[in-house]
Amino acid sequence: MTNLLEIGATIAGLIQGVLVMFNKRSNWIAYIIQMILMILFSLSMKLYGDVSNSAIYLVLGVIGFIIWGKKDDNEIKACSIKEKIIYLLIMALGTFVMFNILSKTDDPLPLLDAFTTVSSFVATYYMMVKRIDTWYIWFINDIFYAIEYFILPDQAIYLFLLNVVWTFMALKSMIEWKKIMNKE
């Protein structure tokens, strides 16, 4: 069953990645499906940070779908220097706090789980509000997720491969969003 959840989440994630790359609102539907599958997968792997992450993403997926449906202020923009400092501080402090929580559980990779969880929240927020910075964060995040899934005791090879693909898709998405941003 774990393999089916992993494969399903991988397929939904690839579909979502392509749709968001080209700024399509329907990406959020694939995102929601992926999060449901990821909750079930992460529970089976005891990745509690990822479970909480995916549960919140489920809600954020609905919010993202609603926000992307609005016409006012729906342009792609870059973060200001102040916003960059804030999101870097949130990622550092959030990782520290979450690591301290996860290290008291049977989570096999508490530091990686903490970092990928926190940076994913930040990246998702910036994806929801259409900031190009989301792709810089996703690029780093996807690298660390690939490492996490590769070194798990019960290797999650499909999710490892998905995150390798997503690393390259983050670069492509950054290029596509910059093109769209320059046209707006």
What digits encode the pLDDT tens for the residues 14-33? 999 999 999 899 999 999 99
pLDDT at position 1 over 80: no
For residue 29, what pLDDT is reported? 96
The ranges assigned to domains in the chain are 2-183
Query: From CA 60, how far away is CA 31, in angstroms rounded?
Result: 10
Question: CA-based Rg of the chain, rounded to a whole angstrom?
Answer: 16
Residue 29: enclosing H or E segment and its boundaries?
helix 27-45
Rounded to two decimals, the pTM is 0.84
Query: From CA 134, how far away is CA 150, in angstroms rounded?
Result: 24
Query: From CA 97, how far away is CA 92, in angstroms rounded?
Result: 9
What digits encode the pLDDT tens for the residues 54-90? 899 899 999 999 999 887 667 899 999 999 999 999 9
